Structure 1
């Protein structure tokens, strides 16, 4: 069972890097919760594949820096439709 979790962490990390996606996007694609994705890429991946972890961290840091902008755009679209 332990090996499967590490494999999933690597797959999630590679997916996030390849598609420059968010934790939510990866969670939706893999059918797991945001919490699971975050734990896999932020904690487990550090020990399984440190190099991949650094790359994923860069993408997640960019997403974190941009999330207030995306949230504002989503709110704007929501109220523009009504």
Structure 2
């Protein structure tokens, strides 16, 4: 990836299997990064939590999102 190229993040929902995170990071041109995000849940409103995200080019991140959701559906349906 070029130094000045715009990069995008797709948050990894808590509970995603570690095996899937590793698979995606090897299969796609993305990096796994940590991001602080404010929570918007009833009893945690305003709290911040460190979450993982995939970072890469927009088209790649869109493909990662689609793949991740497909794989999570397969995992849940087992």
What TM-score do you get using the length of structure 1 for normalisation?
Answer: 0.32
Greater per-residue helix proportion = 1
What TM-score do you get using the length of structure 2 for normalisation?
Answer: 0.33
Greater per-residue strand proportion = 2
Question: If you compute each CA radius of gyration, which structure gives the higher value, 1 or 2?
Answer: 1
